[in-house]
Amino acid sequence: MSTALDTLDRMTQALTACGQGQLAQSEMIRLWRSSAASLPLPGKFGEVLGNLLDRIEASALFSEESCSFSQKDLMASLQLWADKARAQLPPTP
């Protein structure tokens, strides 16, 4: 059985792969939505993540960068979310 930290590692690996063009954005979002649900995090984390993922999906409707949506910034925000989530998770023995 995988730990929460393993799940978070898979999520960040998918983020990296997506940023390098090795994983479709839709697949990365799907993985993040399904995986995050199993993480033992405060409810606010889910709300923030949902908003970020929704904005990333909406940004796909625009070209690379727009005044409202910067995919680069949104991906950086996902990494920040993951870093903060890692700090909230209990360490593995």
Model confidence over 26-76: pLDDT tens digits? 999 999 999 999 999 999 999 999 999 999 888 777 655 555 667 889 999
Q: Tell me which residue range forms the domain holding 16.
A: 4-88
Domain assignment present for residue 56? The answer is yes
Q: What is the pLDDT, as a whole number, of residue 1?
A: 39
Q: How far apart are CA 66 and CA 14, in angstroms?
A: 24
pLDDT tens for residues 78-92? Answer: 999 999 999 998 776
User: Under a CB-based contact definition with an 8 Å cutoff, are residues 33 and 53 in contact?
Assistant: yes
Question: Considering its fold, how many domains does the chain have in total?
Answer: 1
Domain assignment present for residue 41? The answer is yes
Higher per-residue pLDDT: 25 or 70: 25
Mean per-residue pLDDT, 8-18: 97
Domain assignment present for residue 77? The answer is yes
Using only C-alpha atoms, the chain has a radius of gyration, in whole angstroms, of: 13
